[in-house]
């Protein structure tokens, strides 16, 4: 089990019926208990599975699904039809259940007991057709779910369940997620904006705005000794030029200002119970901050980097969709270890088949993706209302495969766009002291970037080394949103067809549900 998920449970409900007598149900119950115990003991599942008994009638199905909906610990339900469980009895329960659903098609015994199998055994072990009956009603009801097929002890089977558990955990996390925007959307930007009401209806999270005058109340309350302690923490955690520690220097002053901004944001996020935030370089408090001291002297870039590493969602320039998605990416990847970050398509490097995109931002790249210990540096940043030096962590990302994702508002529906990418070794950037990654989008730059642009994807995205396309398929299924996946098999003509088909599908889908 993973610590971040320790308060979560996934319920396991076994479908049966009383046609074969109470003894059969007792045996089904025994098998189910052994299976759930075995799955929990496998060490593969990040969330505890809790067996909730057999459901033998419509009333029993409705009862357990009603309880699953009401229990805050329950983040999803796994169903398995041990015997033939006539599926009309699942209709009302499935209507009740809104939490993520996984249908496991498996069997208690691994192999057919060829020498001893009789009709009693046949009647008891009927998932081969019971799961088809159940699958029919889910399909008939257009009920979103994941189907996992395989023997319950197999690592492959358990790994598919584990992915879904992580996505279900992040989904639960998003249902009470608050994103605070410090400043509005960057003026005139379309792709990062969208319908916040629809986002709350569809994706669960809530987005609020906090004016900088309110932020300043937290800023004024920051204690100087806490700022000193945080500056010491920076110097002990990160490589840096020793001259930065000289209190008479401009560099030291800017590091200290960055620490004060971090403490301010932390205080706000904690007080509001927020899981993420956005910033805007045009909105940082008093424009005469160098005289008044009432405001951030530059965008709180170092704070954003460090808060992202702790799992706070972050989106630059008011990008609340990226802030929420980053938090979800971080939450899904708990304990997997390679890291994730908010990133922006910055600059192109044309080099034939190795053409790549430099991913960076003004400052805000998460140190979880760093190849080596980040370096704390202070440099001039000439954008926004302030044009002064400021602190940031500088590093390049680890080489390796990863996946990046964004959500855009198509007007009437959200579209999740996902791209497999390969991070490659960058060349040094002595005149651009920011954190960065360099990647080749799959299948190559021409088609990868082309498809992303055709799909209307953002210049901001949420990247992870740990997630796979399966996570995003599960997420899109649970959220019931469109997903476009750009991968090694993508062709532009095929991708355009898929987008056109989706336009029709999502119009019809609304009518069918």
* Contact residues: Mn ion, CB under 5 A: 316-317, 344
DSSP sequence for 315-368: EGGG-HHHHHHHHHHHHHTTTT-S-EEEEEEEEEE--GGG-EEEEE-SS---GG
CB of residue 300 vs Mn ion: minimum separation in angstroms? 15
CB of residue 319 vs Mn ion: minimum separation in angstroms? 7
Toward Mn ion, which CB reaches closer, 317 or 482? 317
CB of residue 304 vs Mn ion: minimum separation in angstroms? 11
Nearest residue to the partner Mn ion, using Cβ? 316
Task: State both tokens at 345.
Answer: 């398509």
CA 246, 248, 251, 253 dihedral sign is positive
CA 19 to centroid of chain Cα atoms = 44
Q: Is 476 left (phi over 0), alpha (psi -120 to 50) or beta?
A: alpha
- Is 388 buried (19+), middle (13-18) or exposed (0-12) by CB count in 10 A? middle
Toward Mn ion, which CB reaches closer, 21 or 382? 382
CB of residue 419 vs Mn ion: minimum separation in angstroms? 17
Toward Mn ion, which CB reaches closer, 268 or 316? 316
Toward Mn ion, which CB reaches closer, 80 or 439? 439
Q: If we measure between CA atoms, which residue out of 44, 303, 278 comes closest to residue 158?
A: 44
CB of residue 397 vs Mn ion: minimum separation in angstroms? 17
Toward Mn ion, which CB reaches closer, 406 or 490? 406
Q: If we measure between CA atoms, which residue out of 486, 505, 491, 474 comes closest to residue 160?
A: 474
CB of residue 336 vs Mn ion: minimum separation in angstroms? 26
How far is CA 92 from each of CA 58, 71, 102, 347, rounded to the nearest angstrom? 7, 18, 17, 53
CA 297 to centroid of chain Cα atoms = 32
Strands 375-381 and 239-240: parallel
Strands 356-360 and 340-349: antiparallel
Toward Mn ion, which CB reaches closer, 360 or 394? 360
- DSSP letter for 317, please: G
Toward Mn ion, which CB reaches closer, 138 or 316? 316
Residues 6+ apart with CB under 8 A from 267: 218, 221, 222
Toward Mn ion, which CB reaches closer, 61 or 323? 323
Toward Mn ion, which CB reaches closer, 173 or 344? 344
CB of residue 458 vs Mn ion: minimum separation in angstroms? 9
Task: State both tokens at 492.
Answer: 């532009």
CB of residue 460 vs Mn ion: minimum separation in angstroms? 6
CB of residue 7 vs Mn ion: minimum separation in angstroms? 34
SS3 209: strand
Task: State both tokens at 381.
Answer: 């940043």
CB of residue 331 vs Mn ion: minimum separation in angstroms? 22
Dist. CA 342–CA 453, nearest whole Å: 18
* 264 touches 222 (CB < 8 A): yes
Toward Mn ion, which CB reaches closer, 191 or 429? 191
Toward Mn ion, which CB reaches closer, 78 or 303? 303
SS3 164: helix
* 483 touches 416 (CB < 8 A): yes
Dist. CA 484–CA 499, nearest whole Å: 8
- DSSP letter for 295, please: B
Dist. CA 99–CA 132, nearest whole Å: 22
Task: State both tokens at 438.
Answer: 């360099």
CB of residue 364 vs Mn ion: minimum separation in angstroms? 8
Task: State both tokens at 250.
Answer: 């401009």
Q: If we measure between CA atoms, which residue out of 76, 129, 174, 122 comes closest to residue 407?
A: 174
Toward Mn ion, which CB reaches closer, 317 or 474? 317
CB of residue 341 vs Mn ion: minimum separation in angstroms? 13
């Amino acid at each position: 089990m993973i610590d971040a998920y320790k308060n979560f449970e996934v319920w396991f409900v076994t479908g049966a019926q009383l046609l074969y007598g109470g003894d059969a149900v007792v045996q089904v119950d025994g098998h189910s208990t052994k299976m759930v115990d075995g799955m929990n003991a496998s060490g593969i599942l990040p969330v505890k599975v809790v067996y909730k008994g057999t459901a033998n009638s419509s009333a029993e199905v409705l009862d357990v699904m009603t309880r699953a909906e009401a229990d805050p610990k329950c983040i999803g339900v796994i169903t398995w039809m041990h015997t033939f469980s006539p599926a009309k009895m699942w209709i009302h329960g499935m209507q009740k259940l809104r939490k993520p659903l996984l249908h496991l098609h498996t069997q208690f015994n691994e192999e057919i007991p060829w020498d001893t199998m009789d009709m009693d055994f046949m009647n008891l072990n009927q998932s081969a057709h019971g799961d088809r009956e159940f699958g029919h009603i889910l399909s008939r009801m257009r009920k979103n779910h994941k189907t996992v097929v395989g023997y319950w002890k197999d690592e492959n089977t358990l790994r598919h369940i584990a992915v879904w558990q992580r996505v279900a955990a992040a989904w639960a996390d998003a249902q009470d997620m608050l994103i605070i925007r410090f400043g509005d959307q960057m003026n005139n930007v379309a792709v990062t904006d969208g319908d916040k009401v629809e986002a709350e209806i569809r994706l669960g999270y809530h987005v609020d705005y906090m004016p900088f005058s309110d932020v300043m109340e937290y800023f004024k309350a920051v204690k100087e000794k806490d700022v000193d302690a945080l500056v010491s923490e920076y110097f002990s955690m990160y490589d840096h030029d020793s001259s930065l520690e000289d209190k008479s220097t401009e560099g030291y002053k800017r590091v200290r200002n960055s620490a004060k901004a971090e403490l301010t944001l932390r205080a706000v996020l904690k007080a509001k119970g927020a899981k993420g935030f956005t910033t805007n370089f045009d909105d940082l408090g008093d424009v005469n901050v160098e005289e008044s001291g009432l405001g951030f002297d530059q965008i709180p870039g170092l704070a954003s980097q460090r808060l992202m590493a702790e799992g706070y969602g972050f989106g630059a320039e008011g990008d609340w969709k990226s802030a929420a998605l980053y938090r979800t990416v971080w939450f899904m990847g708990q304990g997997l270890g390679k890291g994730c970050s908010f990133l922006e398509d910055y600059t192109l490097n044309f080099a034939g088949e190795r053409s790549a995109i430099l991913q960076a931002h003004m400052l805000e790249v998460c140190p979880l993706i760093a190849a080596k210990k980040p370096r704390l540096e202070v440099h001039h940043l000439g954008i926004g209302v302030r044009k002064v030096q400021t602190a940031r962590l500088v590093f390049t990302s680890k080489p390796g495969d990863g996946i990046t994702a964004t959500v855009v508002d198509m007007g009437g529906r959200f579209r999740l766009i996902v791209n497999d990418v390969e991070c490659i070794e960058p060349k040094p950037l002595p005149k651009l002291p920011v954190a960065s990654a360099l990647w080749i989008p799959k299948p190559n730059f021409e088609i990868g970037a082309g498809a992303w642009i055709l799909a209307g994807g953002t210049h901001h995205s949420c990247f992870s080394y740990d997630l796979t396309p399966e996570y995003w398929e599960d997420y899109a299924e649970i959220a019931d949103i469109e997903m476009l996946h750009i991968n090694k098999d993508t062709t532009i003509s095929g991708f355009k067809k898929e987008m056109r088909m989706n336009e029709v599908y999502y119009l019809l889908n609304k009518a069918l549900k």
